[in-house]
Chain A
């Protein structure tokens, strides 16, 4: 297989397999959660909780200012990653081709800035896993692997764009393959939180809302 064939495989069958695994896996994960059900509330509630449930989904995305220093790097990385995924012009073209929806990408220098920022922030979060006692005791092999499969697309994307390392075609193929690895890992690791965070916030927010607690 030469580099063109590799790229074509990554763009074609590779992407298709990864998408199927990701979509099927995440659907299964959500189904596994929903199938367990939630006990009916018999106490007289102060509200249905729905409003607080929806609100919490958005409110918890705001930075927790009491512990701002502890989460800065993780916060920056999340924002940066989302910008890079959704606003790099070639990515927007891919979304247009696949989903038929198009929005304007951002200039390359901005994307470049956020890529470097995200990479730096991720390295910092890794350092925190080693040096912060709470994070260190919580961390398992799976946390390090999840970090790695998220880190690789950022680095390989940056390298491909700047023509670093291997030749462009191979590097681009490696970048796409690394994204596919991330897609496959999504339903099989804590990365599932990209979907289930909304469910958790909903459950907590609505439970609290019923009791009149605006969390």
Chain B
């Protein structure tokens, strides 16, 4: 038995709290969670039944925290969790789960299954079993402050280009402004039009903002891994920057998991509340819209739909702002069959899009999203998460669909009323 295995087991013991004990006490093995999960519905493979992925944790709970389980353990009637079981579990909790949490919305006894999956990941990571891609991106983020390893230099080039393009000065490390803007790696690399887009919107709205050279990205592989110490260090970097710059508001980028990490988990992993507020960029834009701070062209009749990113919408509570904004700029916005808190996952979240081995399965489970999009007959799918955007673009290309994917911020910026810009 290796020491890391023992660490894994002791972490699993430690993370079991009252909700988890209640969840295991209540589960009736009814199997309904399977119907909520793309990995089951698109493959019909019973190994993907969500609650089943937690079997090692369930046994530890039973053996450690119930009277009957303790008795069974004493007389040798219970099966201890083995190292091999934890190894086998990596495929289930990391490589075939996006932690989207749709199962948690369906469970009849109200179990938050993904809450447990996240704790299961903590155990596996403590046992040294986290997928190598996640470990590598954690190391990159620790070293460079960027999930994909972009140094500030790269971002500065994007900022310069956006300044040239828009003619608007973009602050870096400017103290005492209204907002500190965080980005995601995907925005720096692929969707960097967002920098110029925001510059335009914020200028019209009369909002001051800055980027930080020490905390420019909000992506947090520590969260995907379930390594709360790594997650905390990444959060701390942002907290330090916000405090040094004396900003009262921090903006999470169009990235679901970054929002979950910086908005909801951050204070809990660093162990203290923030001295500032955190908003998803779409919440900020909707607030400015409601205050009449910027005006948009109304309304384009391009038929579009919205894909709710699981960590921002279902898990993070940002469900209405995106709809307010879309209705402001489009007269032909249609909802997907299941939307908001019950939206189907794109299949790329939870770190899965970085795991090479998971790629074929990701392609397979995308068909749920494909059907959802196809039945609406739209020309554009809008979203507010870079990972979703990438996954949607890849899926749409693989399936030769004639649909475009756009970020919501970009759409809002495109339809800003130019007259008000000056």
**Chain A residues with CB below 8 A from B110, complex form:** 56-57, 60, 197, 200-205
Main secondary structure of the interface of A (DSSP, over half): helix
Q: What's the Cα separation between A33 and B110 when bound, in Å?
A: 15
**Chain B residues with CB below 8 A from A137, complex form:** 46-47, 49, 52
The segment from B18-26, B137-145, B237-245 that touches chain A is B18-26
Beyond contacts A33-B21, A64-B108, A199-B26: 11 other A-B pairs, Cβ-Cβ < 8 A, are: A32-B65, A35-B18, A42-B268, A43-B273, A66-B35, A70-B32, A138-B52, A139-B29, A143-B28, A205-B110, A212-B317
Taking a contact as CB atoms under 8 Å apart, the answer to whether B109 and A193 are in contact is yes
Task: Map CB proximity to B onto A47-90 as digits: 1 under 8 Å, 0 otherwise.
Answer: 00000000011001000101100110010000000000000000
Smallest CB–CB gap between B138 and chain A, Å?
A: 22
Does B91 reach chain A (CB closer than 8 Å)?
Answer: no
Taking a contact as CB atoms under 8 Å apart, the answer to whether B109 and A197 are in contact is yes
Taking a contact as CB atoms under 8 Å apart, the answer to whether A28 and B67 are in contact is yes
**Chain A residues with CB below 8 A from B265, complex form:** 43
Indicate the size class of the contact surface on chain A: 35 or more
The segment from A13-21, A106-114, A127-135 that touches chain B is A127-135
Taking a contact as CB atoms under 8 Å apart, the answer to whether A74 and B65 are in contact is no
Taking a contact as CB atoms under 8 Å apart, the answer to whether B314 and A213 are in contact is yes
Smallest CB–CB gap between B72 and chain A, Å?
A: 11
**Chain A residues with CB below 8 A from B112, complex form:** 200, 203-204, 207-208
Nearest residue, chain A, Cβ from B65: A32
Nearest residue, chain B, Cβ from A139: B29
Does B40 reach chain A (CB closer than 8 Å)?
Answer: yes
**Chain B residues with CB below 8 A from A133, complex form:** 44, 46
Smallest CB–CB gap between B422 and chain A, Å?
A: 36
Taking a contact as CB atoms under 8 Å apart, the answer to whether A138 and B29 are in contact is yes
Q: What's the Cα separation between A154 and B44 when bound, in Å?
A: 34
Known: A33-B18, A132-B31. A211 touches B111 (CB 8 A): no
Nearest residue, chain A, Cβ from B49: A134
Taking a contact as CB atoms under 8 Å apart, the answer to whether A214 and B27 are in contact is no
Q: What's the Cα separation between A44 and B277 when bound, in Å?
A: 8
Can you pick out 8 interface pairs between chain A and chain B where the beta carbons lie within 8 Å of each other? A36-B16, A56-B110, A134-B31, A134-B34, A134-B35, A199-B26, A200-B25, A200-B112
Smallest CB–CB gap between A109 and chain B, Å?
A: 30
Q: What's the Cα separation between A190 and B44 when bound, in Å?
A: 26
Taking a contact as CB atoms under 8 Å apart, the answer to whether B273 and A44 are in contact is yes
Most chain A CB within a 10 A radius of its CB, from B23, B27, B29: B29
Taking a contact as CB atoms under 8 Å apart, the answer to whether A204 and B18 are in contact is no
Q: What's the Cα separation between A214 and B315 when bound, in Å?
A: 10
Smallest CB–CB gap between B113 and chain A, Å?
A: 9
Across the interface, A29 reaches (CB within 8 A) one of B25, B47, B104, B264, namely: B25
Taking a contact as CB atoms under 8 Å apart, the answer to whether A36 and B32 are in contact is no
Taking a contact as CB atoms under 8 Å apart, the answer to whether A136 and B315 are in contact is no
Nearest residue, chain A, Cβ from B34: A134
Taking a contact as CB atoms under 8 Å apart, the answer to whether A138 and B31 are in contact is yes
**Chain B residues with CB below 8 A from A165, complex form:** none
Smallest CB–CB gap between B310 and chain A, Å?
A: 11
**Chain B residues with CB below 8 A from A138, complex form:** 29, 31, 49, 51-52
Known: A135-B31, A139-B29, A143-B29. A42 touches B272 (CB 8 A): yes
B interface list, Cβ under 8 A from A: 16-23, 25-32, 34-36, 40, 44, 46-47, 49, 51-52, 65-68, 104-112, 115, 263-268, 271-274, 277-278, 314-319, 338, 341-342
Does A12 reach chain B (CB closer than 8 Å)?
Answer: no
**Chain A residues with CB below 8 A from B268, complex form:** 39, 41-43
Nearest residue, chain B, Cβ from A192: B25
* A 118-174 contacts with B by CB, 8 A: 132-140, 143, 146
**Chain A residues with CB below 8 A from B21, complex form:** 32-33, 36
* A 2-38 contacts with B by CB, 8 A: 28-29, 32-38
Smallest CB–CB gap between B204 and chain A, Å?
A: 28
Across the interface, B29 reaches (CB within 8 A) one of A135, A204, A211, namely: A135
Smallest CB–CB gap between A46 and chain B, Å?
A: 6
Nearest residue, chain A, Cβ from B25: A196
**Chain A residues with CB below 8 A from B31, complex form:** 70, 132, 134-135, 138
Taking a contact as CB atoms under 8 Å apart, the answer to whether B273 and A203 are in contact is no
Q: What's the Cα separation between A200 and B51 when bound, in Å?
A: 14
Q: What's the Cα separation between A5 and B204 when bound, in Å?
A: 89
Task: Map CB proximity to B onto A186-200 as digits: 1 under 8 Å, 0 otherwise.
Answer: 001010110011011
Q: What's the Cα separation between A196 and B109 when bound, in Å?
A: 8
**Chain A residues with CB below 8 A from B25, complex form:** 29, 33, 190, 192-193, 196, 199-200
**Chain A residues with CB below 8 A from B23, complex form:** 200, 203
Taking a contact as CB atoms under 8 Å apart, the answer to whether B263 and A43 are in contact is yes
**Chain A residues with CB below 8 A from B49, complex form:** 134, 137-138
Nearest residue, chain B, Cβ from A41: B268
Taking a contact as CB atoms under 8 Å apart, the answer to whether A71 and B30 are in contact is yes
Q: What's the Cα separation between A68 and B338 when bound, in Å?
A: 15
Q: What's the Cα separation between A143 and B51 when bound, in Å?
A: 15
Taking a contact as CB atoms under 8 Å apart, the answer to whether A207 and B30 are in contact is no
Smallest CB–CB gap between A104 and chain B, Å?
A: 30
Across the interface, A38 reaches (CB within 8 A) one of B17, B30, B106, B318, namely: B17
Taking a contact as CB atoms under 8 Å apart, the answer to whether A44 and B274 are in contact is yes
**Chain A residues with CB below 8 A from B17, complex form:** 36-39
Smallest CB–CB gap between B67 and chain A, Å?
A: 6
Does A92 reach chain B (CB closer than 8 Å)?
Answer: no
Does A93 reach chain B (CB closer than 8 Å)?
Answer: no
**Chain B residues with CB below 8 A from A205, complex form:** 110
Smallest CB–CB gap between A82 and chain B, Å?
A: 15
**Chain A residues with CB below 8 A from B274, complex form:** 44
Q: What's the Cα separation between A21 and B66 when bound, in Å?
A: 16
Nearest residue, chain B, Cβ from A35: B18
